[in-house]
Amino acid sequence: MFKLYKKLSVKDFIFVILIIGLTVLSVYFTMELVDGIQDIIQAITYVNYHNNPESLFTGDSAAMLAVYQAGGWDAVLAMVAGTPLEATIKSIADAGVSDIWMYGGIILAYAAGSMVVQGVIAVLASFVAADLTTRIRTDLYEQIEKFSLAEIDKFSTASLVTRTTNDLQQIQFANLLTMRMIFQAPITCIWAIVKFQNASSNLSLASIIGIIIIVLVIGGVMIFALPKFKKMQKLTDNINNVTRDNLTGIRIVRAYNAEKFEEEKFEKANDEFTRTQIFTGRAMAILSPVIMIVMNGLSLAIYLIGANLINSGNIDYASVVSSVMLSSQIIMSFMMILMLFIMWPRALVGAQRINEVLETKPSIVDPENPVDFKEKGTIEFKNVDFKYPGAEGNVVNDISFKVDKGETLAIIGATSSGKSTIVNMISRLYDATSGEVLIDGVNVKDVNAKDLRDRIGFVPQKGFLFNGSIADNISFGSDEKNPEKIKFAAQVACAEEFIEAKDDKYESMISQGGKNVSGGQRQRLCIARCVYLSPEIYVFDDSFSALDYKTDKQVRENLNNLDKDATKVIVAQRIGTIMDADKIIVLDEGKIVGLGKHEELLRSCEIYREIALSQLTREELGL
């Protein structure tokens, strides 16, 4: 948590200092309020004695009643002159209802002052907590944006979502409570104990015993509850992960009648989360009645001790009442600290999880001295190996090939043969474990990632559309939104027909992920997005799979006619999609087993021939 406090701005620090000063002022008002109540009780008592002297002059003082009746308060004052009673009798003699109104006004003034100061503290604390959270959220988002796919896979999407939402909320709420209470609680407690000591050491002893009991109870409960609090955030991750899987894959869940299975999986995660919450809730629930018992017991003890002190003449009733109020302030201080104890464990875990993200160094970083590109539209792999983090073996091994400007490279192979891995390394979404990946004549590690990706138009295997209009999705990634260029890109991707059929045409809204369009329409919009950027290298990772043969052929013809100098990399499973490519790579278990044109591979590569014959007849293949 303290690492995150380094992100506080100068303004935040100034506000924190103001909060500390205002907290002292608030506690001062509270303590003066206690004194004011003591004064008004004394004023009421003195007025009562002034109006009913027979209630004052009883017992050993009964003789003074005759003196009062004979000469009034002046005679009584003359009688007690020079004794400890002189000040008290003078106060009674001068007492009036106006004193009650005066002390009542003072009490209201202190109460109003305390309310205003508390309001200002709340506003300042809210600002600092929100400002810090905003700054952390921004840094967190920017850090995640720098992550390669390896870091995303390490944390998981569900966990990163939890860290940027729930964890930050826990931290913000804890910081808000902290700034409002962490200063007020100890200041109030110490100030009240000092006033206790000044009033009576016997009464302060009772308060110290009550404090010790509360500290022991809170400490005991936290020892058992703290590990559970730490577990809560991981369980929140788990629930988010299960929920996200179910909602994202709702079509598959329903298609396979797996609702019951998903319900059971969610119930298991939810039950574990609930059990942990119930345990921590019960542990915290113990504290509230204990504190109330201690508070009421302490008040009773003060009244009992105070009664004996009043009888012995060592204290007055007003001081006993003020002592009860002081004891309440002390207990309330510990209740504030208790609230912090409840919030801080989860906030600390959240801070730790956020720091893990912020302190994780991205595996893909820009070089200190980036070099200039030497060529245009060329791709070269030199003895490239790649292994996913934590995997036992390489996904691809010793991959070497070169694509010149304007050529079309196709990659085909069985599932999990490494096709997507290769194209991900072209855009530097992953870095090669060994070997070199060169784009336009330079190693991708020697250039800025932004400059590299500006040259590449990438259509991933799972095309994703964002919430917004069709025009917004096609122009995504560009600083400009040119309507003519958007329409041209849609024409190249054969998307114009279904777009024009919509009521709002290019301003028609797309739901997140493109859930309100078909798979083929989604792929064509993703291809149009790539075309809109006019890159020098096009990378299509199985991006024609949802298109029919006619549309597939038309899109490829449009792309070929679009820019003869543009280099194209096509990953596909259909022979018809790749047979016209200048070079075809055949992958098998992460290795290149064939490299050449379609006709060459039919003769020289058994695996390619098997794939081709599984889709087309010998006559169609010319065999």
Asked if residue 219 has pLDDT above 90, the reply is no
In terms of pLDDT, which residue wins out, 141 or 149?
A: 141
Give the domain 370-455+536-549+564-623 fold: Rossmann fold (3.40.50)
Asked if residue 112 has pLDDT above 80, the reply is yes
The mean predicted confidence, pLDDT, of the chain is 83
Q: Are 311 and 303 within 8 A, CB to CB?
A: no
Look up the CATH architecture of domain 147-362. Up-down Bundle (1.20)
- pLDDT confidence of residue 574: 84
Give the domain 462-534 fold: Rossmann fold (3.40.50)
CA dihedral 544, 545, 548, 550 (to 10 degrees): 30
- pLDDT confidence of residue 345: 72
**Which residue, 159, 167, 154, is CA-closest to 361?**
154
Asked if residue 171 has pLDDT above 70, the reply is yes
**3-state SS of the chain: helix, strand, coil percent to 5?**
70, 10, 20
Distance CA 63, CA 52 (A): 15
pLDDT band (50, 70, 90) for residue 449: confident
pLDDT band (50, 70, 90) for residue 60: low
Using the 8-state DSSP alphabet, how is residue 368 labeled? S
> Among 68-82, 131-145, 591-605, which stretch is predicted with the lowest mean pLDDT?
68-82
- Are domains 370-455+536-549+564-623 and 462-534 of this chain identical in fold? yes
Using the 8-state DSSP alphabet, how is residue 373 labeled? P
**Which residue, 387, 382, 417, is CA-closest to 401?**
382
Asked if residue 198 has pLDDT above 70, the reply is no
Which of 169-183, 328-342, 434-448 reaches the highest mean pLDDT? Answer: 434-448
pLDDT, one tens digit per residue, over 489-507 is: 999 888 888 888 888 888 8
Asked if residue 236 has pLDDT above 80, the reply is no
Mean pLDDT calculated for residue range 304-323: 74
Distance CA 504, CA 391 (A): 48
Q: What is the pTM of this model?
A: 0.69
In terms of pLDDT, which residue wins out, 159 or 273?
A: 273
**Which residue, 240, 347, 334, is CA-closest to 290?**
334
344 CB-contact burial (10 Å; exposed 0-12 / middle 13-18 / buried 19+): buried
Asked if residue 428 has pLDDT above 80, the reply is yes
Asked if residue 469 has pLDDT above 70, the reply is yes
List phi, psi (to 5°) of 536.
Answer: -90, -15
Mean pLDDT calculated for residue range 307-335: 75
Q: How far is CA 560 from the centre of its chain?
A: 47
CA atoms within 13 A on the CB side of 231: 15
Asked if residue 116 has pLDDT above 90, the reply is yes
Asked if residue 353 has pLDDT above 90, the reply is no
pLDDT band (50, 70, 90) for residue 461: confident
The helix (H) or strand (E) run that includes residue 510 is strand 509-510
Pairing relationship of beta strands 583-588 and 509-510 according to DSSP bridges: unpaired
- pLDDT confidence of residue 120: 93
pLDDT band (50, 70, 90) for residue 566: confident
Mean pLDDT calculated for residue range 181-190: 81
**107-112 CB contacts, 8 Å cutoff, 24+ apart:** 107/33, 107/36, 107/37, 107/40, 110/29, 110/30, 110/32, 110/33, 110/36, 111/29, 111/33
Q: How many residues are present in the chain?
A: 623
β-strand partners of 411: 571, 585
β-strand partners of 570: 410, 540
Q: Tell me the domain boundaries of the chain.
A: 8-124, 147-362, 370-455+536-549+564-623, 462-534
**Which residue, 596, 612, 604, 602, is CA-closest to 407?**
596
In terms of pLDDT, which residue wins out, 407 or 192?
A: 407
189 CB-contact burial (10 Å; exposed 0-12 / middle 13-18 / buried 19+): buried
Cβ neighbours of 212 (radius 10 Å)? 11
Q: What 3-state DSSP class applies to 111?
A: helix
> Among 306-315, 352-361, 376-385, which stretch is predicted with the lowest mean pLDDT?
306-315
The two tokens of residue 154 are 């390490």
Q: Are 42 and 99 within 8 A, CB to CB?
A: no
List phi, psi (to 5°) of 439.
Answer: -120, 125
Q: Are 429 and 153 within 8 A, CB to CB?
A: no
Asked if residue 364 has pLDDT above 90, the reply is no
Q: Are 585 and 601 within 8 A, CB to CB?
A: no
**Which residue, 370, 558, 387, 358, is CA-closest to 454?**
370
Angle at 61 between CA 60 and CA 66, to 5 degrees: 130
Longest dimension (CA), the chain: 141
> Among 37-41, 341-345, 462-466, which stretch is predicted with the lowest mean pLDDT?
341-345
Residue with token string 């290149």: 592
Asked if residue 199 has pLDDT above 70, the reply is no
pLDDT, one tens digit per residue, over 413-423 is: 888 888 888 88
Distance CA 540, CA 561 (A): 17
Mean pLDDT calculated for residue range 579-594: 88
The two tokens of residue 46 are 């003195």
